Structure 1
Amino acid sequence: MENFEFHLDNFMLYCESKNLSRKTLSSYEQTLKLFQFYMEREHSITEVSDVRSGHVRMYIKYLRDRGKYTVVSNERSLNVNYPDRRTDTGKDISDTTISNYIRNIKVFFNFLYTEREIQNNPVQKLENIKPNRKKKPLLKREEIIRMLKQMDTSTFHEYRLWMQTRLILDTGLRIGECCNVKPEDIDFKYNSILVTNPKNKKERYVYFSFKLGRELKRWLKYRDRFSDSEYVFPTIRGTKQDIRNFERALRKSGERVGVRVHPHQLRNNFAKFYLLNGGDWVSLSRILGHSSAEVTQKHYLDFTEDEIRIKYNDHSPIQGLDI
């Protein structure tokens, strides 16, 4: 086993011991294996102690020059995933992706330095990339109404989709969290749902309206006629619903009425409506499960001109004066 590979395996064991999510573990492993492959192929370096900050900067330039899906850690995967058939192969890698690569590489070498596996930390003074934040695409109110109205709630699958769509819009749940909800997580007395964040295992409460509460009770009675599953929104066989199946069903439902929609847009719509209706950043941050209000602000500061105009009219200093 090469030196780099040994330390990578040790780092992954450390990450697993911290009970990080599978998504985070996969991100670390993929990023570091690609970097290991680059260092060995382009610089003949297999020892972590031989890596310098200049190598990391050259790697980032290498990725930018090559573009999307042009770098792999296993050449055999080219005959399985066929990246050359993708329409976006070779296109520019976003600053957000590059920033994530740098962050993962930094975590790895900071770990090695803390463990005293290396004497010099090559990422200690490595510059971060501040990605340009894109405006989050939101659904218009009429698009939401049009999409919900055309769902056939007489069928199990469409009724489930209708309920999940409304629940995410009303609570700001992530789709993975929505699929994980169990009946015992719901408290109808306080109209709340106990959620465990799969990323950091922390618990929080989200809240739903009285209207949604009545709909949830009707759904649970309906669900019980088809399944005794432990999940609120199971498959017809009673198993946990796959996130990708929900995404696919929602996308196809939107296409039927000319609406392009992704589950995370529903969460974004909740957040923006919450703020536009007078909600504050701190409570929104707790509901969404963010680490701080500052993180929430970075995500949802991009109001449109129409949204600013509506918000202004609600709070105009002169509007409420009877003079």
Structure 2
Amino acid sequence: MVENVNVMLKLFIEYLQIERNYSQYTIGSYEFDVKDFFMFMNEQNINSVNDVTYSDIRIYLTKLYEERLARKSVARKISSLRSFYKFLSREKIIEENPFTLVSIPKAEKRLPNFFYGEEMQQLFDAIKTESPLGLRNLAILELLYATGIRVGECSQLRLKDVDFFLSTILVHGKGSKDRYVPFGSFAHDALEQYIHNARKQLMKNQNTHDFLFVNYRGGPLTTRGISVILGKILEDSSYNGKIHPHMLRHTFATHLLQNGADMRTVQELLGHSFLSSTQKYTHVTNEYLRKSYMSHHPRA
């Protein structure tokens, strides 16, 4: 490719970091998608981003579908490229933006997976709290279920973010949006037990830091580390199924709505910018009610 697209990509990444304040994970996805399109341009002998036409994009979409990518993955790639070209247009690097003509394929609607009450109890029962790591694992599970915070948000919590008097945590969410989230008595007790009886023991060989959750060496626990812990809890339980970290977030929201919480409250607690992001849980609760009706009504 004649044109130095890497310079454009570098400028775009700086824009995402500085102006959009996106996380490194999100920026990594954008970078991957744009680089993938650059490879396609090279294959098609397209020498400039200005030379890309709507027809070229249709060929690219066909290629993605031939690779059997899910509609969600294709939609993400097109969204990334649309943002990239919008940036190029803003910077006067391109004359026309062909991606304005491309519609993003609608993703398949899937109901979020969540745990039923008895399944959550199985997870809690699987944790042995005789060791410092067990107390830590219980505190993590209780807090995730009590607050619905993301695993990434959980890994970033610091001791000063926990207010035991008000039973709230200060969560540093996506896009530097902070929010206060309350937690109940079970999470309160588990956190106190962990901080006073376990965290100090785990920290004994580590320089002082104030991250709330730590690994067995005393270092800050990563998002990946929390995911591994949740997987191990599932293994030790009698629950037959798979777990992904977001399931606890889905469970938190679903259980709140099933028990009468209003949508706006759940939106605030989850840190969703738009109510539409929260509305998917109403489909879950409606399906739950339908199944309950069909199972228990004598004339269903």
Report matched runs for 1:47-62 at 5 Å.
Answer: 47-62=48-63
Moved more, 109-118 or 235-244: 235-244
**1:36-59, CA deviations, whole angstroms, 9 ceiling, x for partnerless residues?**
001111x10121100112212211
SS at match of 1:220: helix
Cα deviation for residue 212 of structure 1 reads 2.1
Q: Does 1:231 align with 2:211?
A: yes
2:279 maps to amino acid = Q
The count of aligned residue pairs is: 285
Q: Which residue of 2 aligns with 1:280?
A: 262
Report matched runs for 1:79-90 at 5 Å.
Answer: none
2:104 maps to amino acid = N
Distance 1:155 1:32 in 2: 47
Tell me how large the CA RMSD over aligned residues is: 2.0
**1:240-283, CA deviations, whole angstroms, 9 ceiling, x for partnerless residues?**
11222221222132123243222211111000001011111111
Structure 2: unaligned runs, 5 residues or longer: 294-300
Cα deviation for residue 301 of structure 1 reads 2.6
Q: Which residue of 2 aligns with 1:63?
A: 64
- In the superposition, relative to structure 1, how do residues 289 and 143 fare at CA in structure 2: closer, same or farther (>3 Å)? same
Structure 2 contact 50–94 (Cα < 8 Å) conserved: yes
Partner residue of 1:293 out of 275, 283, 294: 275
Cα deviation for residue 13 of structure 1 reads 2.0
Q: Which residue of 1 aligns with 2:192?
A: 217
Distance 1:46 1:8 in 2: 15
TM-score of the superposition, structure 2-length normalised? Answer: 0.88
Structure 2 contact 161–171 (Cα < 8 Å) conserved: yes
Structure with the greater relative contact order (CA < 8 A, sep ≥ 6): 1 or 2? 2
Cα deviation for residue 229 of structure 1 reads 3.9
Q: Which residue of 1 aligns with 2:297?
A: none
Cα deviation for residue 300 of structure 1 reads 4.9
1:205 maps to amino acid = Y
2:97 maps to amino acid = N
TM-score of the superposition, structure 1-length normalised? Answer: 0.82
Q: Which residue of 2 aligns with 1:201?
A: 176
Partner residue of 2:167 out of 161, 172, 191: 191
Distance 1:297 1:94 in 2: 23
Report matched runs for 1:168-187 at 5 Å.
Answer: 168-187=144-163
Q: Does 1:261 align with 2:243?
A: yes
1:213 maps to amino acid = H
Cα deviation for residue 60 of structure 1 reads 1.5
Distance 1:310 1:220 in 2: 40
Q: Does 1:118 align with 2:94?
A: yes
Q: Which residue of 2 aligns with 1:79?
A: none
Q: Which residue of 2 aligns with 1:73?
A: none
Runs of 4+ that moved beyond 6 A: none
- In the superposition, relative to structure 1, how do residues 62 and 296 fare at CA in structure 2: closer, same or farther (>3 Å)? same
Partner residue of 1:131 out of 107, 118, 127: 107
Distance 2:129 2:114 in 1: 24
Distance 1:212 1:258 in 2: 22
Partner residue of 1:97 out of 67, 73, 77: 73
Q: Which residue of 1 aligns with 2:229?
A: 249
